[in-house]
Structure 1
Amino acid sequence: MADTLRFAFAGFRHAHVLDLYNAVKSKDCCQIVACCEEDAQTRAVLAEGGKIKVTHQSYDDMLGGVDFDVLALGDVYSKRGAMAIKALEAGKHVMADKPICIKLDEFDRISDLARRNKLCLGLQLDLRSYGVYHTMRKVIREGRIGEVLSVVFTGQHPLMPKVRPGWYFEDGRHGGTINDIAIHGTDLVPWLTGHEIVRPVAARVWNSHCALNRKFQDGAQLVLELDNKAGVMADVSYHSPDHLKGMPPQYWRVTIFGSAGLVETSLTQPDVMVVDKDSGEIQRLSPEPNVTWRYLNDFLACVGGSAGEGMVTTETVLAATKAALEAQRLADA
C-alpha cells in the first residue's frame, strides 16, 4: 500500500457515509482528494454545514478526472451498484456504506471484477466494532456452548419517515429491507459461529404501516441455513417505536443456542450472558473494549495485504452481500 491512500467520495445521500468520511479524515495514512454529490439539494445541505467541500457534481467527471485509489460510496442504494462497477473497472478499491448494490446481477459483476483484478471491497459493517460481540465470538470459538445449533437475531429499526431521506420511500431506490438491514446479520453470524450461510430457507417482506408508500416493505423476516445444518431466524423490520428514546433491548440482540449451552447479548446489553458446558448457572461476562471504526481498519489492512483472521475482507463482504440479496430475492418472489 502507498504511504498515503487517496479517497474520493461519491454521494452523501445517507448519513452513514458521514461516519466513513470522519473515519477516513482521522487517519494519517488517508487523504480525501475529491467529493462528488450529484443531487442539488444535498449539495446545498453540505454547503450549509460547511464541513464537506463538494468538488464535483458529476460522478463520471470525478472518476475520469481525479487520481485516487479508493472510491467511498454513499449515494442512494439503487445507484451504488453501477457506480461501484465503474470504479472497479477503473482499477479502484471500493469502500461503501451498506448495501453496495441492490441487484444480484450487479453483485455478480462486482464480485468478478474485485476478484479478477485483486481489488478490495469494504462495507461499514460496524457491529464487529462492539466488544460484546467479540466476547460472544470468543465464547463460541472456545467451545463453551458446544456445537452451534440455532441462532436468533433481531435488528428492528424505527421507520422515522420524517427523518429518513425521502428517496428511501421512492419506488426502486431502496431495494428491500432485508438487503438494507439483514446484511449486518449475514456478516455477523458466520463471523461469530465459524459457519457459513448456505441458503435462505424462507423470507417474507410486507407493508405493515408505512403510509408514505404502500409498496415500501417495512416488515422483514427471514430464515437461513448454516453449513452445519443449524438454523438462523431473524426479524429486521422497521417496527421499533419511532417515539422511543434510546434503543430497545432487542436492538441487535443475538441469541445462540449450542449443544452444551447458550450465549446472548445485544447492543444495549452491558455484558454477555452465558450458560456454558461446565455450569448450569447464568454467567455475566464483561465485554472486550469497543474499537471505533474497526471496519475501516480492516479495509486498510486488506488494501495493504495484511488482513488477518476475523477481519472484514473482500470475501466476507461478498458472502454477506450475496446472502442478503438471495434472501431478499426469495422474499420478493
Structure 2
Amino acid sequence: MKNFFNRRSFLKDTVTAAGGVALLSSLPKKSIAGYKAEPRIRFSVININHSHIYGMIGAVTRGGGQLVSVYAKEPDLLANFTKQFPNAKVAKSEQEILEDNSIQLILSSGIPDERGPLGVRVMKHGKDYLVDKPGIITLDQLAECRKVQKDTKRIYSIMYSERFENKATVKAGELVKAGAIGKVVQTINIAPHRMSPKTRPEWFFDKKRFGGIITDIGSHQFDQFLYFTGSTKAEVVASQIGNINFPQYPKFEDFGDIMMRGNGGTGYIRVDWFTPDGLATWGDGRLTILGTDGFIEVRKNIDIATEHKGGNHLYLVTQKETKYIDCNQEILPFGQQLVDDVVNRTETAMTQDHCFLATELALKAQKNAQVINSFK
C-alpha cells in the first residue's frame, strides 16, 4: 500500500512539473485516471429505461470499450440517448444487434422484469452482458440465467454501482484487503433514496415489474456484504418490507431491512424511499465496516456532519488513529477490469458466483420478508 501511494504522489508531482507533459504522454493511457483507454472491444446497448445506462457506458468506455449501436422501443428515451452519443448507430431491432458478430458485450438498463430474459438471449448469441441492477427479479429467472451462463460460459455481470462507481467504497475495499481494520466482523449498509414520484414511469410503482424494494435497491447492499466480509456462502436471517407512506401506490414498497449471516461475517441492511427534499442529494448512503482492530465508515454521497462537500468521504478508525480520507481522486477500476475479463475470459471485476449469490440473497430476502403495512 505504501508503494502504491508513493507511486501516485510521484505521478502527480511529476505531471505538474515542467517536464511532466512528456512523461504523461509516454505512459499507457489506461493507467492514468481520467483518460479514456484505447478501444479493445465493441459494445452495444439494448433498452434504456433507466438513466443508469449512462454511467454504465462511461465505465466500459473508460475501460476500453467502443460504443457501436443502440436499440430502444421508446422514441423519447432514444432521442435523449442519441444526443449524448450521436455516433451510436440506431438499430432497427434487438435482433440486429444480437446478430452483429463484431460486438462482444451488451449493456442494458431496461425495465427490471425484462433484464433477465434479455440476458439469456444475449448469452445464447455468444455475447457477454452487463445489466443495471436489479439484474434479475425472480428465482425462476435466476435459475435460467445460471443454467445458460454455465452452458455458454458467457459473462453475466450486474452493475452494482454503489460499490463499483463510488470511489470511497473502492478505497474501503483497498483498506480492508490491506488489513487496516483486522478481520471484518459485520457490515451495516444504510441506503435511503428520494422518491420524486412525478419523475417516475408507471412500471416503477408495480412490484411485478421492479421486483420489490429489497430485490431492487437491496441488491447493491448484498453485493457489498459479500465483498467486504469475504463470504462465499450466506443466509438471510430475517427480513421485512412495507409500504408505509404511499397508499396511492398499492403495488409499491418504500421500506425494507434485512439481517444476514455469511461464512465471513454478519450484516444488516436498511433500504427506503424516505430521503427528504431538504437534502442536497438523492440519499445519504452510508456503509460501516466493523473489524477486529478498527472500523471504516463510508459516507457515499454527502457528509451532513461536516463542511466536506460532495461525496466520497471515508473515516478510518484503528488502534493508532482516527483519520478522514477524501476519496475523490481515487481510480474506479471496474470498467477496465470488465473489459479485461471480456478479452481474457477471466473474473477480475467480479466472479460469476458472487454476482449470482448477491442476487439470490436479495430475491430470497424479498420473497420471505414479513410485511409491514402501517404503524399504530
Residues 1:76 and 1:212: Cα distance change in structure 2 (over 3 Å): farther
Instruction: State yes or no: 1:101 paired with 2:139.
Output: no
Q: Any idea what SS the aligned residue of 1:81 has?
A: helix
Counterpart CA distance in 2 for 1:140 and 1:49 is 37
Matching residue of 2:344: 305
Deviation at residue 16 of structure 1 after TM alignment: 0.5
Q: Matched residues in 2 for 1:102 and 1:50: separation?
A: 29
Q: Is the 8 A contact 2:172 2:314 kept in 1?
A: yes
Report the AA paired with residue 123 of structure 2. Answer: L
Is residue 339 of structure 2 the alignment partner of residue 318 of structure 1?
A: no
Q: What is the RMSD of the two structures over their aligned residues, measured on CA atoms?
A: 2.9
What residue identity is the alignment partner of 2:52? Answer: H
1:95-138 alpha-carbon deviations (Å, 9 max, x no partner): 11112111111112212222332211222222234342233234
Tell me how far apart the structure 1 counterparts of residues 92 and 341 of structure 2 sit (CA, whole Å). 30
Rounded to whole Å, the distance in 1 between the matches of 2:282 and 2:65 is 33
Give me the whole-angstrom Cα distance separating, in 1, the residues matched to 2:361 and 2:143.
13
| CA deviation string 1:264-287 (max 9, x = no partner) | 1221356432332x33x5333454
Q: CA deviation at 1:148?
A: 2.5
Q: Which runs of 5+ in 2 are unaligned?
A: 1-38, 304-311, 372-376
Q: CA deviation at 1:65?
A: 6.2
- For the 8 Å contact 2:194–2:275, the answer to whether it is kept is yes
Question: 2:223 & 2:205 partners in 1: Cα distance?
Answer: 25
1:178 matched to which residue of 2? 214
Following superposition, the deviation at residue 297 of structure 1 comes to 1.8
Aligned-partner Cα distance in 1 for 2:118–2:232: 28
- 1:273 corresponds to 2:315: yes
Match of 1:195 among 228, 231, 249: 231
Secondary structure of the equivalent of 1:187? helix
Residues 1:171 and 1:144: Cα distance change in structure 2 (over 3 Å)? closer
SS in 2 for 1:199: strand
Q: Distance between the aligned counterparts of 1:153 and 1:242, measured in 2? A: 22
User: Which structure has the higher relative contact order (CA within 8 Å, separation 6+)?
Assistant: 1
2:293 to 253, 260, 276: 260
Output one character per residue of 1:164-189: Cα deviation in whole Å (capped at 9) or x when no partner.
Answer: 33321135211111111111111122
Other structure's SS at 2:90 match: coil
Residues in 2 aligned to 1:118 and 1:261: alpha-carbon distance in whole angstroms: 40
Larger Rg over CA atoms: 2
Tell me the matched-pair count: 323
Q: 1:290 aligns with which of 315, 318, 330?
A: 330
Matching of residues 165-244 of structure 1 within 5 Å: 165-228=201-264, 230-244=265-279
Deviation at 1:288, TM superposition (A): 7.7
Query: 1:4–1:113: structure 2 CA closer, same or farther, 3 Å change rule?
Result: same
SS of the residue aligned with 1:155? strand
Kindly state the Cα deviation for residue 62 of structure 1 after the two structures are TM-superposed: 3.8
Query: Identity, % of aligned pairs?
Result: 22
- How many angstroms does 1:66 deviate by? 6.6
Q: 2:190 aligns with which of 146, 154, 165?
A: 154
Assess if the C-alpha contact under 8 Å between 1:210 and 1:218 holds in 2. Answer: yes
Matched to 2:141, the amino acid is: E
Q: In the alignment, residue 260 of structure 1 is paired with which amino acid?
A: D
After TM superposition, the score normalised by the length of structure 1 is 0.84
Moved more, 167-176 or 130-139: 130-139
| Letter paired with 1:33 | V
Q: What is the one-letter code of the residue matched to 1:266?
A: R
Aligned to 1:125: 160
Distance 1:92 1:139, change over 3 A: closer
SS in 2 for 1:315: helix
Alignment of 1:28-43 (within 5 A): 29-43=64-78
Instruction: Provide closer, same or farther for how the CA distance between residues 253 and 47 of structure 1 changes in structure 2, counting only shifts above 3 A.
Output: closer
- How far did residue 263 of structure 1 move? 2.1
Aligned 1:56-95 pairs, distance under 5 A = 56-64=91-99, 67-95=102-130
Residues 1:15 and 2:28 aligned together: no
